[in-house]
Copies of this chain bind each other. A is one copy, B any other.
Amino acid sequence: MVPMHQWIKIKAPATVANMVCGFDILGFAVNNPFDEMEMRLVPKQAGTAPITIINVDDYQLPTDPEKNVAGAALLALIEEFKGNEKLAVTDLAFEVKINKLIKPGSGVGSSAASSAGAVVGANYLLGNIFSKDDLVRFAMNGEKLASGVKHADNIAPCIFGGVTLVRSIFPLEIVALPSPQLYVTIVHPQIEVRTADARSILRQKVLLKDAIKQWGNIAGLVAGLMKSDYDLIGRSLEDVIIEPVRSILIPGFDTLKLACKNAGALGGGISGSGPSIFMLSKTQSIAEAVEKEMHQLYESIQLPHHTYVTTINQNGVEIVA
């Protein structure tokens, strides 16, 4: 256990969920952007909450632990900790400072970074008593608070790093997938796409022939990542089910994707439920050419936006000090 009152610093990466054909199952962490957090353990005062949240950014997110995603995740961790006879945390309280550098609502796992960062930090403070699978389970409570759904698409890569497969939610099973060096270009057009809207426009049924096409691509993508076969990865980055529906919510999506692929990107798609779009490339120079295309398109329609050129983060949430 880390000594009482000693602050630790945490870096929690942004993540891309719904990796093209891998809707709801494949995601990855990136090295930029990331959230910064600080945490420490203090003696709990009688009658006070076991969690104190201090926001050091300008997003005015709730500080009530039950209404804050980091708080919800920590509450789940504390609940399990209490249930364990060998452990006794009832006399301890967590203080959490959150500096969100990942803009909420951008579609690159902002809520997951807070939830995952908090439980990884707490686990470190307590002497790493929980497994990564446990931590994912706790952090999913933050996602439930944020979106109403206890999903692990962003939490899994945020905690494990790299590319992750959520093979099953009940029971939870996460499989870390090896991947070759990949450069990631992300554009965040400054529009709002509500996760609930992005969910509600999906059709409940899909054609079997489309599903078969999709699972051919998923199998191809997993094989391509594990074989470091960039061409196979590129050919498999095709989504015939979700993207045709959801992309209508994102201005210029088809044009932008085509321009990025013409600039050399292997492929890409909507990050999470949008509005951010990500593209994967084999080299940094291609990733930068892709960024230029993104700028050009969104400048031409005068849509404010941010871009990032980064790489896949292999470590997930890290304790940096």
**A22 is contacted by which of B166, B173, B215 (Cβ under 8 Å)?**
B215
Interface membership of A108, Cβ < 8 A: no
Chain B residues with CB below 8 A from A220, complex form: 165, 167-168, 173, 175
User: Shortest CB–CB separation between residue A32 and chain B, in angstroms?
Assistant: 27
Interface membership of A236, Cβ < 8 A: yes
Bound Cα distance A126, B216 (Å): 33
Bound Cα distance A175, B222 (Å): 11
Q: Is the CB of A25 within 8 A of B219?
A: yes
Chain B residues with CB below 8 A from A223, complex form: 165, 175, 177, 222, 226
Bound Cα distance A214, B222 (Å): 14
Interface membership of A311, Cβ < 8 A: no
Interface membership of A203, Cβ < 8 A: yes
**A212 is contacted by which of B25, B175, B226 (Cβ under 8 Å)?**
B25
Which A residues between 183 and 212 are near B, CB-CB below 8 angstroms? 202-209, 211-212
Q: Specify the chain B residue showing the minimal Cβ separation from A210.
A: B211
A sample of 11 more A-B contacts (CB under 8 A), given A214-B215, A219-B221, is: A24-B212, A25-B219, A165-B219, A167-B236, A168-B217, A202-B208, A204-B208, A205-B205, A206-B206, A206-B211, A211-B214
User: Shortest CB–CB separation between residue A259 and chain B, in angstroms?
Assistant: 24
Considering only CB atoms and an 8 Å cut-off, how many residues of chain A contact the other chain? 40
Bound Cα distance A183, B111 (Å): 45
Interface membership of A26, Cβ < 8 A: yes
Q: Is the CB of B202 within 8 A of A205?
A: no
Chain B residues with CB below 8 A from A219, complex form: 22, 25-26, 165, 167, 175, 218-219, 221-222
Bound Cα distance A320, B205 (Å): 49
Bound Cα distance A26, B222 (Å): 13
User: Shortest CB–CB separation between residue A241 and chain B, in angstroms?
Assistant: 7
Interface membership of A23, Cβ < 8 A: yes
Interface membership of A67, Cβ < 8 A: no
The contact string, 1 if C-beta is below 8 Å from chain B, for chain A 1-38, is 00000000000000000000111111000000000000
Q: Specify the chain B residue showing the minimal Cβ separation from A167.
A: B220
Bound Cα distance A26, B220 (Å): 11
Q: Is the CB of B167 within 8 A of A217?
A: yes
Contact A215/B212 with A204-B207, A223-B226, A235-B168 known, Cβ cut-off 8 Å: no
Chain B residues with CB below 8 A from A226, complex form: 222-223, 226-227
Interface membership of A54, Cβ < 8 A: no
Bound Cα distance A222, B206 (Å): 23
Contact A216/B23 with A205-B205, A206-B208, A208-B202 known, Cβ cut-off 8 Å: no
Interface membership of A232, Cβ < 8 A: yes
Q: Is the CB of B25 within 8 A of A175?
A: no
Q: Specify the chain B residue showing the minimal Cβ separation from A218.
A: B215
